[in-house]
Amino acid sequence: MDLWTILLQIFVVGIFIYYYFNRKFSYWNERGVKGPSPSIPFGNVLSFFRDGQVKIEKDWLQKYGKLYGNYQMTAPILTVIEPELIKQVLVKDFHIFVNRDKLLFDHEIFNHNLFNSEDEQWRRIRSITSPTFTSGKLRGMQMLMDRCVDKLANYFDRIIDSPKNGCLNAKEVVTGFTIDVIASTSFATETNANGDLSSDNIFVEHGTELMDFKAWRILAFFALPIKVNRWLDNSLGFSDWRFNFFVNLSRTIIHQRKNGKNKRNDLIQLLMDSFVYENQLKGNNYESLTASADHDMKEAENVPVENTNPSSNNTSDKRTLTENEIIAQCIIFFIAGFETTATTISNVFYYLAINPDIQDRLCEELQILNEMDVNSREYFDKVNSELPYLDAIIKETLRLNPPLTRLQRRVGIHGYKLGGIPLDKDIEINIPTYALHHCEDFYPEPDRFNPERFMPENKHLLIPYTYLPFGGGPRNCVGMRFAYQEIKLCLAKIVRSYQFDKTSETKIPLEYSKIALLTCKNIPLKVSRR
C-alpha cells in the first residue's frame, strides 16, 4: 500500500469522525440552547478535570445563565439552576424523573443500592428502607454514636497533651470518627480509627482506601469498556477488591443474625426486619418517600409495623429486601455517609476556627446541655431540634460546601418539555448544587460564612429549591436524618469541651478536590480545652 493510499484512508476516516461527532454535538444547537462548546471526543468533560467541576459550573452559570446545555462525552446534558424548574424535576414531575443518570456498574450487588436502582426496584427498596430512619429508630443508635464521640474526645485529649500541643489535621481525625460511627451503626464492628490509623486495622484500612478517589479511576470508568476496567480492578470507579471486603463482611453479619447471634440495634438488623405491604407500592403517590430533616415530623414509629396497614392481614403480601439488597444498602450508606459527614464536620471546625465570634456564640447556646444525661431522650430532642444556632451553622456549612456537588435525573418519556425545551427520553438533567448554593441571586455575598441566613427569623428570605445539600423530592438522601444526628451529637459535645483555632498552616480559603466529592484532605487546626 503506497503512501497516498494511506493518507487517503486517514483523510476519509477523519472526515467520518468529524461528521459523526459534529452530529452528536448538534443536539443543543438544534434546540436553540446555549452552552459551552464541546471538544472531540470528550464533550465538556475535560473542563472538569482541568479547572475543577465547581469552578467551571460557577463560570458557566455566569456566562450562560440558569439553563444551558453541555456534553458528557457525547451525551447531551441539560443543566438547570432555576428554582421553579428544579422543583418541576425533583417534585412536580417526579414520576417522569424517577431515575438518575445511567451508571451500570460491573458488579452483581452494587446496582441494587438506592442510589443506582431504578423504577419499581428503587420504589420498593426506598419504601422498605425509609422507616429505618425515623426518629425512634435513630434514637436507638444514640448510645452507639455517643461512644464514638467519646473516642474522638479522647484523641483530642491525647493530641493536646502531646508534643504537637493540639495541632492536627482535622479532616483526618474526623474521618476516623465517622469510620467509627459507620462501623458501629452499620457493620456491628467496633473500631477506634484514630487509635488504629497507624496500625493494621483492616476495617479502617479498607474504608479509607475505598474512598480515596483517584482521577485516573474516574476517567477510566467513564471512558473505557467494562472488560478493561475489570482488568484494572476498576469496574466500580474505585477498588473492586476493597469493595468486596465490605460485601463479605456484611454477608457474614447477616448470616450470624439469621442464626440468632449478635443481634443489636444497628442498620443491618433494621434492614433485615423492615418490610412493606404489596399494596403500598401501587399508584403514583411518592410523597411519603421524601426524607425529612424535621425531628418533630409525624411518624408512626411507636405503632407496630403490622398495624400500619390494618386492611392487610395476609403476611404473604409482605415485601422485604433480598440479602444482596441489604448488603448493597449497607455499603452505599458507608460510601455516602462516612466521607461526606467527615467533610461536613471538619468544615464546621474550620469555619469555627476562622470565625471565633461564631464559635463563642455556639458554645454559649450549647451550655443548656451541661446538666443533661447525654443518653436521655431530653438530650436527644434538644440536640436534634431545639438548638437553632447549631442547626444554622451546619446548614450554612453545607451551603458553602455541599459534599455532593451535583444532582442528576433522567427524562423518562419522549417529547417532554422543560423550560420550553423539547427533550428525548433518557436525556440527563443536571442540577449543579455548588453553583446553585453560590448564586448571588439567591444568597447575597455567597462566599461569606453567615449562619444568620438559616436562623428561624430569616427563614422567609430563603427561596425554595435553592438549598439542596441532600437533594430534594422523593429521591433525596434517605439517610439525611442519620447524618444530621451524627453531626449534631458530635458538635454538641465537642464544642462545649474544646476550642478550635487556625494555625500558620491553615489555608483560607481551603483548597478542595477538583473531582468527585467536594473534599479537602488537609485542614490544619489547633484544638485546646475550654
The three-state DSSP-derived secondary structure of 385-414 is HCCHHHHHHHHHHHHHCCCCCCEEEECCCC
Share of the chain above pLDDT 90, in %: 55
pLDDT in tens, 36-63: 999 887 889 888 888 888 899 999 999 9
Mean pLDDT of 245-274: 86
- CATH number, domain of 53, equals 3.30.43.20
Instruction: Report pLDDT for 453.
Output: 97
* The total number of residues written for the chain in this structure: 530
Q: How confident is the model at residue 302 (pLDDT cuts 50, 70, 90)?
A: very low
Whether residue 138 contacts residue 482, with contact meaning beta carbons closer than 8 Å, is answered with yes
The reply to whether 140 falls in a domain is no
* Nearby residues of 56 by Cβ (< 8 Å), 6 or more positions away: 47, 48
Whether residue 109 contacts residue 462, with contact meaning beta carbons closer than 8 Å, is answered with no
Residues 370-397 as b or e (16 or more Cβ within 10 Å = b): eeeebeeeebbebbbbebebbbbbbbbb
Instruction: Report pLDDT for 299.
Output: 40
Q: How confident is the model at residue 224 (pLDDT cuts 50, 70, 90)?
A: confident
Residues 203-220 as b or e (16 or more Cβ within 10 Å = b): bbbbbbebbeeeeebbbe
**Does the pLDDT of residue 21 top 80, yes or no?**
no
Mean pLDDT of the chain: 86
Mean pLDDT of 311-337: 79
The reply to whether 50 falls in a domain is yes
The reply to whether 81 falls in a domain is yes
**Does the pLDDT of residue 335 top 90, yes or no?**
no
Nearest to 409 by CA among 38, 93, 44, 31: 93
* 368 vs 313, higher pLDDT: 368
What does the alpha-carbon distance between residue 383 and residue 514 come to, in Å, rounded to a whole number? Answer: 34
What does the alpha-carbon distance between residue 522 and residue 507 come to, in Å, rounded to a whole number? Answer: 9
* 178 vs 302, higher pLDDT: 178
What does the alpha-carbon distance between residue 287 and residue 298 come to, in Å, rounded to a whole number? Answer: 14
Mean pLDDT of 206-229: 71
The reply to whether 102 falls in a domain is yes
What does the alpha-carbon distance between residue 28 and residue 116 come to, in Å, rounded to a whole number? Answer: 27
* 297 vs 49, higher pLDDT: 49
What does the alpha-carbon distance between residue 516 and residue 406 come to, in Å, rounded to a whole number? Answer: 10
Whether residue 488 contacts residue 383, with contact meaning beta carbons closer than 8 Å, is answered with yes
**Does the pLDDT of residue 193 top 60, yes or no?**
yes
* Centroid of chain to Cα 246: 19
For cell 431515575, name the residue: 99
- Beta bridge partner(s), residue 418: 421
The reply to whether 308 falls in a domain is no
The reply to whether 232 falls in a domain is no
What is residue 429's three-state secondary structure?
strand
Nearest to 527 by CA among 215, 229, 161: 161
Number of domains the chain is built from: 1
Instruction: Report pLDDT for 76.
Output: 95
Q: How confident is the model at residue 495 (pLDDT cuts 50, 70, 90)?
A: very high
Q: DSSP assignment, residue 308? A: S
φ, ψ for residue 256, nearest 5 deg? -65, -40
Instruction: Report pLDDT for 16.
Output: 64
**Does the pLDDT of residue 112 top 80, yes or no?**
yes
The reply to whether 62 falls in a domain is yes
Range with the poorest average pLDDT among 47-51, 296-300, 311-315, 459-463? 296-300
**Does the pLDDT of residue 230 top 80, yes or no?**
no
Instruction: Report pLDDT for 225.
Output: 73
Range with the poorest average pLDDT among 6-15, 140-149, 357-366? 6-15
Mean pLDDT of 16-37: 83
**Does the pLDDT of residue 387 top 50, yes or no?**
yes
Mean pLDDT of 120-146: 90
- Beta bridge partner(s), residue 277: 318
* Residue 90: domain span: 1-112+405-449+464-468
Q: How confident is the model at residue 303 (pLDDT cuts 50, 70, 90)?
A: very low
**Does the pLDDT of residue 197 top 60, yes or no?**
no
* 507 vs 73, higher pLDDT: 507
The one-letter code for the residue type at 205 is E
φ, ψ for residue 127, nearest 5 deg? -65, -35
Mean pLDDT of 114-139: 90
**Does the pLDDT of residue 22 top 80, yes or no?**
no
Helices (H) and strands (E) in the chain, counts: 21, 11
The reply to whether 437 falls in a domain is yes
| 520 labelled binding-site residue | no
* Nearby residues of 18 by Cβ (< 8 Å), 6 or more positions away: 40
**Does the pLDDT of residue 188 top 50, yes or no?**
yes
Whether residue 399 contacts residue 447, with contact meaning beta carbons closer than 8 Å, is answered with no
pLDDT in tens, 404-463: 888 999 999 999 999 999 999 999 999 999 999 999 999 999 999 999 999 999 999 999
Nearest to 513 by CA among 354, 339, 331: 339
Whether residue 210 contacts residue 335, with contact meaning beta carbons closer than 8 Å, is answered with yes
**Does the pLDDT of residue 213 top 70, yes or no?**
no
Instruction: Report pLDDT for 300.
Output: 36
